[in-house]
Structure 1
Amino acid sequence: MNNITDLIQHSLNGISGELKELRQSIHANPELGYAEYNTTSLIKNFLVSNGVEFINFDNLTGGFAHIDCKKEKTICFRADIDALPITEKTCVPFQSVNEGLMHACGHDMHAAIAAGTAVVLNSLKEYLKHNIVVIFQPAEECNPEGGAKLVAEQGILEEYNVSQMYGLHVWPKYKVGEIAVKPGVIMGSSDKLSIEVIGKKSHAAEPHGGVDAISISVDIINAIEHKLRREIDPFDTSLISIGSIKSTGRYNVICDKVEIEGTIRTISEDARSFIHRRINELAAGIAGSYCGKSIVNINNGYAVVRNDRSLSEVFIRFAEGFLGKENVHTDIQPSLIGEDFSFYCSIVPSLYFFLGCDCEHPLHSDRFLPKEETLYTAVNFLCNFFLSE
């Protein structure tokens, strides 16, 4: 046996049972960002038991594996490992045992894919043309301060001379064995919007004596979601979604305070800056017209995930040859789901792709569950790609 694809499959077959157990153990024991202590231990134990050194981050959960082939070039693959505050309803035998927590975004699958890839590549390191770093990153879900920045600040990319970065996300709309990828922007920026509207209380029967914060809020929301939309180029993908409205009102009292929260998603920095500015202007103008006040706070979250064009061309060409052209979707629109992988994109040439996992329920659903075969298909694909480079 000397064909590299056969060698990869043989190595993968040897760990398939352990890999399945790892994924299910991570899924059953979800932990929130910056608290992935057990998750880190599970990953470390799997890697070490299979001959791969695991290095913990300094003062941070997660860690990384370094496959040193004494080459000049180093390629990095990143997986996120944190879960979400969601109560699981999948009813699988390995359902979450941590009440109110769930791997509803597939990070259990990401972590296991990365661990399996590290073990297989390490077993075939004599065939690698470059060194490999595999990062197990905490806190991707902690927008606007995700774990990518803190991991990068550990100095790993510089210390190991990383020249390329890769990442993936399981994607329920595509079948197992399919991927979606495109050059340029593949995921949008994600910012948190908060607006505090301040009015003045009065008796509901005497509204002229107060300033109605609810009426102000309604006009602000309408302006943000409708008027502002007419000011943005329709071909410049962006959206503003209001997710929460809280008031201090009572049925017979003119409300004096409302808190509005939402999210801003764009695929261009120009649109992002414009929307930020106009929300401030609109909120101030509308509140002022009622003799009220508005306080706008926009937290810059994750920037756009932008795929390097040269890496994309090489990756797509390989994927079409390995998976079949019909299974590689390149004519796709960017997703407006945010990702802190964007931070790595700002440091080194990077590529991020969507991995088919064939699930009828969407990401962040309490019933989201990738097909198990996604795990083996992904490890096989990634190992073949990294060994072809």
Structure 2
Amino acid sequence: MKTLQLHINDIENDIYQIRRQLHKYPELSGEETNTSELVKEKLTEYGISYEHGFAGTGVLGVIKGGKPGKTVALRADMDALPIQETNDHDFSSEVEGKMHACGHDAHTAMLLGTGYALKKIEEQIEGTVLLVFQPAEESSPIGGSGPMMEDGVFHEYKPDVIYGQHVWPGLPVGEMGIRDKEMMGASDRFTVKVTGRGGHASMPHEGNDAIIITNQMISSLQTIVSRNVNPLNSAVVTIGRIEGGDRYNVIPKEVSFEGTVRTYKPEVKEMIKKRFHTILNQTAEAFDAEVDIEYLDGYPATINTPAYAQQARKTAQRIFGENATPQVEPALAGEDFSRFLLDYPGAFIWLGTQIEQAAEQKPLHDPGFQLDEKALPMGSHFMAEVAIDTLKSLSSQGG
């Protein structure tokens, strides 16, 4: 709709300012009080009714169209990360140790822009559009989408389709990444404590070296992917942190390590989890040691519904051009939107936000992460258009 683009143009500066304000004052998972208040303030300003208090700080905006029809939900996450920003902008984070390094500030701003434009044409809308502002996306394994649903965010208005989008520094502005099925991976995490027997470095036979045992465990865990996972499937087992020992000449009694498991297929995830425990327990037994394992099942894989991924692609190509949706590979990063997709059909989309100096682009979760703000009105426009297109398609199906 040409009208939608005009309304996005009207709200463009507001989108930028909202994003910059949120970026300047980031709030971590579960702390999004001021962010939530800003969302409610803007929804009120735009004349959009809302409910709030879901998962603590979550907000649901409701736009009821002037014509009967189905319901489409659009989701944005709101939380920041415990990262110290290294960028030097006039809107750089002013909160020590906190930063919007994953673009959730942009997601929130874009969805507010989308809501503004849709509210302006609400009499033409065939059905209802829900604006889901979600807290705690970064708080794996619990997250915010599950608690929002448990709190009844969709109790009155149940979506027939749900969409989410994420800024993506690997794609230039004007392009969108859309896959028919696997989009992002399941993300489990683990913490392991190995207990041996301490001693003096000169008398290793009197101790039971937890470092040696841990080394054997970590090496063996890598065989899960190389020897147990079908090479045509995808999986990663990463050890991200090891801690142990006090002094160069002391054999440590305890060593701990932690890391993550990433997969797409549920059966691969379960096989890795089983082998993980078997390897660690049997290695500990072989070395006459003890092992304590904390294995947390995180977000499931983000798997798009083919029909709505195709609808999103069709919409993107219509408004941004036939070349706007290049073929992309899935990512094994985890995403809490996956839990919405377990209950409702829909699609998750990557919005190209690569900066003009592409060689200087930092990845998501980097303290120097930046995005090209020119993409933000485009993201708002896309979400508004895909909501309208999907509602029309659902109405035409007569179901």
Query: TM-score, normalized by length of structure 2?
Result: 0.93
SS of the aligned residue for 2:323 comes to helix
**Which one of the candidate residues 210, 220, 223 is aligned to 2:220?**
223
8 Å Cα contact 1:172-1:357 kept in structure 2: yes
Query: 1:247-286 maps to which residues of 2 (within 5 A)?
Result: 247-286=244-283
Say yes or no: does 1:66 pair with 2:62.
yes
Shifted more, 332-341 versus 44-53: the winner is: 44-53
Residue 310 of structure 1 is matched in structure 2 by 307
- Any stretches of 5+ residues in structure 2 without a counterpart? 356-360, 391-399
Structure 1 residues 186, 58: closer, same or farther in 2, change over 3 A?
A: closer
Say yes or no: does 1:34 pair with 2:18.
no
Say yes or no: does 1:54 pair with 2:30.
no
Shifted more, 130-139 versus 154-163: the winner is: 154-163
Shifted more, 167-176 versus 222-231: the winner is: 222-231
Identity %: 33
Say yes or no: does 1:245 pair with 2:242.
yes
Say yes or no: does 1:129 pair with 2:130.
no
The one-letter amino acid paired with 1:378 is G
Runs of 4+ off more than 3 Å: none
Equivalent-residue separation in structure 2 for 1:285 and 1:325 (angstroms) = 55
Residue 358 of structure 1 is matched in structure 2 by 354
Residue 115 of structure 2 is matched in structure 1 by 118
Equivalent-residue separation in structure 2 for 1:342 and 1:227 (angstroms) = 25
Question: Residues 199-234 of structure 1: CA distance to partner in whole angstroms, max 9, x if unpaired?
Answer: 011111111111110001011111112454222111
Equivalent-residue separation in structure 1 for 2:373 and 2:155 (angstroms) = 35
The one-letter amino acid paired with 2:39 is I
The one-letter amino acid paired with 1:364 is H
8 Å Cα contact 1:140-1:148 kept in structure 2: yes
RMSD: 1.4
Question: Residues 165-189 of structure 1: CA distance to partner in whole angstroms, max 9, x if unpaired?
Answer: 1001100010111001111111110
Question: Residues 234-275 of structure 1: CA distance to partner in whole angstroms, max 9, x if unpaired?
Answer: 111000110111114421111111111000000011111111
**Deviation (angstroms), 1:55:** 2.1
Equivalent-residue separation in structure 2 for 1:228 and 1:323 (angstroms) = 40
Equivalent-residue separation in structure 1 for 2:324 and 2:7 (angstroms) = 25
Residue 336 of structure 1 is matched in structure 2 by 332
The one-letter amino acid paired with 2:283 is I
Equivalent-residue separation in structure 1 for 2:306 and 2:325 (angstroms) = 16
8 Å Cα contact 2:225-2:236 kept in structure 1: no
8 Å Cα contact 2:225-2:235 kept in structure 1: no
SS of the aligned residue for 2:214 comes to helix
Residue 396 of structure 2 is matched in structure 1 by none
Residue 301 of structure 1 is matched in structure 2 by 298
SS of the aligned residue for 1:19 comes to helix
Residue 181 of structure 2 is matched in structure 1 by 184
**Deviation (angstroms), 1:136:** 0.5
Question: Residues 314-333 of structure 1: CA distance to partner in whole angstroms, max 9, x if unpaired?
Answer: 2222222322222202x322
Aligned residues: 384
